[in-house]
Structure 1
Amino acid sequence: MIDAARPLRRMLNAVVASTFAFAVASCSKPSTTGGYPDFADLVERVSPSVVNISTISAAPAPGALDGGGGGPETPENAPDWLKRFFDQHGQDRGETAPEDDSSQGGEGAVDPEEGAPGAPQPLGSGFILWDDGYILTNYHVIQDAKEVIVRLLDRRQFSAQVVGSDERSDLALLKIDAKGLPAVKTGASNKLRPGQWVLAIGSPFGFDYSVTAGIVSAKGRNLISEQYVPFLQSDVAINPGNSGGPLFNLDGEVVGVNSQIYSQSGGYQGVSFSIPIDVAAKVARQLKDKGRVTRGWLGVVVQEVDRNLAQTFGMERPVGALVARVMAGSPAERAGLKAGDVILTFNGEELPISAALPPMVGNVDPGQVIPLEVQRDGRKVTIKVEVGELENQDRDVEDSGDASVPEAPAPGSAQFGLTVSPLPDELRRRWQVVGNGVLVESVAPGPAARAGIRRGDIVQSIAGQEVSSPQRLGEIVALLTPGVTVPVLVNRAGTPSFLPLEVPGAADR
């Protein structure tokens, strides 16, 4: 006998299962209100993983000895933009700051007397990376601190040990004596897309657990201050005190560490930068395991390829990283890279701009063999390089004095408006000039001036030909085709770069 109710039960079961699956999926992300996400449940879920960070400097707390009169000043080790803000608004902050409840800490908890000499100064935020007490924050938050204090959402305070720090990425790993902490879930920052929602939780101006939200504005931003970090840019409101705090996606995963803002006032102006969690987590693991961070090193000085330079190198569009110098004894030198090469790809990844190269190289483990696609002499070649380890390759350069005697213009160089002389050994050593060159004594109006060549520059090559003397410069110039633009390698106070030099037409010679 056929059970007529069986198909109906199967249909009802399917409807219930679908409804339950939809409800579970709906709970995984914030609901929407009027087309915008409702972050309330997400914030409640992830806030316990966020911490406030204060530091005690070696000197007495600024403003603690004068009995008030305008509130606390900014500690000396605070970033410049934080100092500027408190210079302008410090007094108001001192009058309006809310009182802080006393905390009940467990073992290792500290509670310095408010306003006493050596009292903690709130400088930033952080988050619990691992549940056994590891906290991630910015290096500049704890820089030069005598003691670091971490406060949790439940008001417990702990004196933290600095496990390690990495100035190049502006990250620091802390450890507190606590177990079973609510650690964050980490996401994949490389999967983020511009336009996606993100939110930040931190302590701007000391106001704990403030929540701000916005969207990802761009990825892979390169800043001069941290050239090994491809920053995430967002319009999330980040202010002094947010530094080191987490940037969450809608799944409640940390995708970045809030680090910097672009501002002319010291406060938020719509442009915020976060360290991708992919980069931050790798740094944290190395600090935990080794106490230091190792990065890949290529050993080249590169510059941007603009439209004029792309034309001089026979390129269809201005992309890649133009090699201006190859360091002696570097992996790049051993692999055969040369000044004038344009690196187009690194390990299969295209280089849209030269600033994209340092973070790519730095993210590679030393010892790896990486293929480079290079444009050289109008054709593309592949070069394999064994990446070295980045150590302290930075060097200080001094200002140069004029240590040469001007000479008459080299034959043929007058048409460019140049007067040059042999390169003195003193300047060769001071600016660490690799190869030969001539010293520019004066620049008259003309092609050289339009190219940006200045008095005191060292001209090392023109159109790929090494300039060994003023006479050799004249010989090279005499062979150049009138009306074309050629690359000129100049060394300016120790920094090499290529400039596009227009060769005068025959009528102008």
Structure 2
Amino acid sequence: MSTKRISAAVRHLPRSRKGGLVAGALALGLAGALSAQTVVPGQFAFADPVRVESAAPQSFAAVVAGVKPAVVSVRVRSDSTPRMMSSRGGGMPGFEDLPQDHPLHRFFRRFGGEPFGGERGDGGGQRREEPRRYGTSQGSGFFITGDGYLVTNEHVVSGGSEFTVITDNGDEYEAKLIGADKRTDLALLKIEGESDFTYVEFAPDAPQVGEWVVAVGNPFGLGGSVTAGIVSARGRDIGAGPYDDFIQIDAPVNRGNSGGPAFNVKGQVIGVNAAIFSPSGGNVGIAFAIPASTAQTIVADLKNDGTVVRGWLGVQIQPVSKDIAESIGLDKAKGAIVAEAQGDSPALKAGIRSGDTILKVDGETIDSPRDLARKIAGYPPETTVTLDVWRDGREQAIEVKLGRLQEEARAAAVEPTGENTAFVDSLGVELASAKSVGAGDKGVVVTDISGDSAAAEKGLKRGDVILEVAGQQVDEPGDVAGAVLGASESGRKAVLMRVQSGNATRFVAVPVAKG
């Protein structure tokens, strides 16, 4: 009601009610002034609360009607290894090994069956190969082109010899495997001779946490099932592979949904459903989808030649903890620290060395080792990239020409032997020269360690080989003690050690006492 209408209404009321209504109008006016952050003398001004318009759709029916014909069930047939069986076994391998008084023997004798073949009681028979057996599994997938290319998970098609695609209307087609990438759990299938399939597109932008998501797939072999929820989180690392960057959703996803799409409300694919977290094996509201950006890149490579080629830097890396950051002079824990540059790797040839902390790749900030791995893998081999590294207390740029990703070489395990040890009280560790105990030509071996020491809390253990302390190579226990003392006298809260544990090399920041 406007101010003029309020005044007019007041004139027609008795005097006793006019006062109350005017007071109420003044109160409303004051509240409005306060909500608009107008400061009234002697009063407090309050900021407006956050108000967001709801974007909840009234129905997902239109989205589902548009995308559902593009979603398929994928049936995979795999050969099992033939087994040897006896002609006496009646299809039950190992039956002939049962004792004669076993209940199964009495069962067949009583009911006239002949589990052993031949005449009753002959006990004969020959060993023969069991007929080939086949296993069948099912998953989901979706068309990305009208001529029959479709995406699914690598773990859905793994080990398969025959692939059958069942569309939403029940039509069945034989498909061939174009290629699969185990590292990202993606695979590409193709139906030959058809060109009129309904297909969907990948979303150009990453979804935001809280956005609606619709999952369509083949849970438990039911086919064509639709569920809805929201994007719960992004950037999830679930330990599935070196490039984990999953979208977490709470749309109900179950066994058989693997390889199926997760859509936004525009009908675009934001991710490929790949895994669930579930103690029971069924949906508990936590599912993980491979981002559309990852799927697009991998599918393009698979479509090109059936393989995925990635850039290779050739370094062992680890996260930069607060202790490590402090020990090397970084203002905050960021980037990925190089534990070791592998032999004959692009990194080693470019001058990257242990202790370097990689902060950026071609100007893009590196948040973690996994982030670095994803960025490097996104480049094709022979690409030259610029790495911003932290070395000797300052940042510098190094150009590296990437190689092709290959399996990492494994170093020999190191175990301490012999005597000639010395105890470093400041660390709570007993050390011996690697040479003196036959554990190699470099470093100092941890032959014993106090369970309540700071070194033990940071993960050092018996058998580890300390290669460097505070950037200096160490070959004797005294080298370690001296470097720790130097770090303490310089005011460092921790000293950085490069440690070899079995096949891996890593950095450990061990706290030290001042002075």
TM-score, normalized by the shorter chain, greater than 0.5: yes
Deviation at 1:288, TM superposition (A): 2.1
Q: Does 1:498 align with 2:503?
A: no
Over 3 Å counting, the alpha-carbon distance change for 1:223 and 1:334 in structure 2 is farther
Question: What residue number does 1:238 align with?
Answer: 253
Which of 443, 454, 461 is the equivalent residue of 1:454?
Answer: 461
The residue matched to 2:274 in structure 1 has which SS? strand
When Rg is computed on C-alpha atoms for both structures, the one with the higher figure is 2
Give the corresponding residue for 2:79: 58
Shift of 1:235: 1.8
CA distance in 2 between partners of 1:476 and 1:325 (Å) = 20
Partner secondary structure for residue 63 of structure 2: helix
2:417–2:438 contact (8 Å) kept in structure 1: no
* Matched residue type, 1:404: T
Unaligned runs of 5+ in 1: 1-31, 62-115, 429-434
Tell me which amino acid in the other structure corresponds to 1:56.
R
Kindly provide the amino acid, as one letter, of the partner of residue 330 in structure 1: S
- 1:472 paired to 2:479: yes
Deviation readout 1:247-286 (Å, 9 max, x if unpaired)? 1111111121111122333222222211122221222222
Distance in 1 separating the partners of 2:244 and 2:428:
41
SS in structure 2 of the partner of residue 481 of structure 1: helix
Select between 186-195 and 490-499 the one with higher mean Cα deviation: 186-195
Deviations 1:291-317 (A, max 9, x none): 211011111111112222222122222
Q: CA deviation at 1:471?
A: 4.1
CA 460–151 in structure 1, closer or farther in 2 if over 3 Å, else same: same
What SS does structure 2 have at the residue aligned with 1:404?
A: coil
State how far apart, in whole Å, the 2-side matches of 1:174 and 1:498 are: 43
Given the superposition, is the C-alpha separation of residues 40 and 126 from structure 1 closer, same or farther in structure 2, using an over 3 Å criterion?
same
Deviations 1:434-484 (A, max 9, x none): x93221100124332233211111111111111133343344334332463
Q: Equivalent residue for 2:428?
A: 417
Distance change (3 Å), C-alpha of 1:480 and 1:313: closer
In structure 2, do the counterparts of structure 1 residues 41 and 122 end up closer, same or farther at CA, with 3 Å as the change threshold? farther
TM-score normalised to structure 1 length? 0.75
Counterparts of 1:383-462 in structure 2 under 5 Å? 383-391=398-406, 393-394=407-408, 400=413, 402-409=415-422, 413-423=424-434, 436-444=442-450, 445-462=452-469
Shift of 1:53: 0.9
1:403 to partner: Cα distance:
4.9
Cα distance in 2, alignment partners of residues 33 and 487 from structure 1: 52
Match of 2:219 in 1: 204
**For 2:410 and 2:322, how far apart are their aligned partners in 1?**
31
Aligned position for 2:275: 260
Of 139, 150, 160, 1:124 maps to 139
**1:358 corresponds to:** 373
Matched residue, 1:296: 311
1:36: Cα distance to partner? 3.7
Q: How does the TM-score come out when normalised to structure 2? A: 0.74
The match for 2:59 among 38, 50, 65 is 38
Aligned to 2:357: 342
Structure 1 segment 262-281 matched on structure 2, within 5 A: 262-281=277-296
Instruction: Name 2:117's counterpart in structure 1.
Output: none
- Counterpart of 2:430, as a letter, is T
1:417: how far off? 1.6
Residue 332 in 1 paired to residue 347 in 2?
yes
Which AA in structure 1 matches 2:360? Answer: T
Q: Distance in 2 between matches of 1:408 and 1:123?
A: 60
Q: Structure 2: 5+ residue runs without aligned partners?
A: 1-52, 83-130
Distance 1:264 1:491, change over 3 A: farther
Q: How far is 1:191 from its partner?
A: 3.4
Counterpart Cα distance in 1 of 2:224 and 2:64: 10
Tell me which amino acid in the other structure corresponds to 1:50.
V
Deviation at 1:183, TM superposition (A): 4.2
Instruction: Name the aligned partner's letter for residue 459 of structure 1.
Output: I
Q: 1:178 offset after TM fit, Å?
A: 3.8
- Indicate conservation of the 8 Å contact 2:77/2:137, yes or no: no
- What residue is the counterpart of 2:150 in the other structure? 135
Task: Tell me which moved more, 491-500 or 219-228.
Answer: 219-228
Distance (whole Å) between structure 2 residues aligned to residue 228 and residue 117 of structure 1: 38
Residue aligned with 2:228, SS: strand
User: Cα offset for 1:177?
Assistant: 2.5
In structure 2, distance between residues paired with 1:446 and 1:180: 68
Select which of 241, 252, 265 maps to 1:226.
Answer: 241
**Residues 1:326 and 1:426: Cα distance change in structure 2 (over 3 Å):** farther
Change (3 A) 1:51 1:356: same
Three-state SS of the structure 1 residue aligned to 2:262 is: strand
Correspondent of 2:68 among 47, 51, 57:
47
- Cα deviation per residue 1:204-223 (whole Å; 9 max; x = unaligned)? 11111111112222333334
